[in-house]
Amino acid sequence: MLETSDQAKGHAHLRRLRESGVDESHIRIDTLCRRPVELSAYRLSRFVGNTARESDREVFGH
| Contacting residues for 28 by C-beta, under 8 A, at least 6 apart | 44, 45, 46, 47
Rounded Cα gap, residues 12 and 3, in angstroms: 12
Q: With 70 as the cut, is the pLDDT of residue 4 above it?
A: yes
Taking only the tens place, the pLDDT of each residue in 5-44 is: 998 999 999 999 999 999 889 999 999 898 887 888 999 9
pLDDT computed for residue 1 by the predictor: 79
3-state SS class at 19: helix
Weakest mean pLDDT among 37-41, 49-53, 54-58: 54-58
pLDDT, residue 49, reads 77
Question: What ranges in the chain are assigned the alpha helix state H?
Answer: 7-19, 54-60
Query: Smallest Cα–Cα separation from 13: which of 51, 43, 35?
Result: 43
pLDDT at 50 (0 to 100): 73
